[in-house]
Amino acid sequence: MSSTFTQPLSSLCPTESAPVAAENDPAKRDYLEGREQFKKGEYAMAAMAFHNALKGFEEQGDEAGVANAADRFGDVCLERQDYAAALAHYSRAYAICEKEEDSFSILALNKKMAAAHGKLGEFDQALEYAFDMVEHYQLTKDPKGMVETMTVIAELYQEKGDKLKAAETYRTIAAIHRNFKHQRMAEEFAARADELERA
């Protein structure tokens, strides 16, 4: 039997509990402050806020909070070109996301970790993360993500000095574009491969 009570549309709105929860939770307040400071480019202030948020979430035993704060703290370190510290924070967030089987957060962290390893000249480690991303895009059937990541892989091979593998990767990208009838893009990536093979 169905109820004749109909909830009025005006009652369907965001609750006020989320802002109140942040006001009452110093860790969440610090986290939000860190995000604001990061947006402004105030990286020292953002680092302090994320550090405090991280400590607060640790004390609460809030693993999701720890993962989010560690991720954002890593972003601050990446902006400040402290790549080793960025990797330490990203690794901490990665471990939590892996335990929770959160593949999309892992994908985002793979991108950041590949970038940090690349900046440190650790191309083999950067490539490992990039190949994990390719695998994710294959499983989710995302050709755009695949092409973007393979472009990064080709650039990493170039930085590593492996022109043949970079050219091979560009040819694979060209083939993907050709399969989707993107003739101009296919020609562009094939030309990049040709140029590397001639060099």
What would the DSSP string read from start to end of 3-43? ------GGG-S--SHHHHHHHH-HHHHHHHHHHHHHHHT-H
Q: What is the dihedral of CA 71, 74, 75, 77, to 10 degrees?
A: 170
Neighbours of 19 (CB within 10 A): 12
Give 60 or 1, the one with higher predicted confidence.
60
Q: Is the pLDDT of residue 12 over 80?
A: no
**pLDDT tens digit string along 113-130?**
999 999 999 999 999 999
Least confident among 7-11, 46-50, 52-56? 7-11
Confidence label for 199 from pLDDT (cuts 50, 70 and 90): confident
Q: What is the pLDDT of residue 22?
A: 64
Q: What is the pLDDT of residue 23?
A: 73
**pLDDT tens digit string along 133-184?**
999 999 999 999 999 999 999 999 999 999 999 999 999 999 999 999 999 9
Q: Are the C-beta atoms of residues 54 and 92 closer than 8 Å to each other?
A: no
Q: Are the C-beta atoms of residues 121 and 113 closer than 8 Å to each other?
A: no
**In the chain, what is the greatest distance between 2 CA atoms, to the nearest angstrom?**
77
Confidence label for 10 from pLDDT (cuts 50, 70 and 90): very low
Q: Which of 84, 62, 86, 64 is nearest to 75 (CA)?
A: 86
Cβ neighbourhood burial of 23 (10 Å; 0-12, 13-18, 19+): exposed
Domains and CATH numbers, the chain: 22-102 (1.25.40.10), 121-199 (1.25.40)
Instruction: Give mean pLDDT, residues 2-18.
Output: 46
Neighbours of 115 (CB within 10 A): 18
Q: What is the pLDDT of residue 101?
A: 95
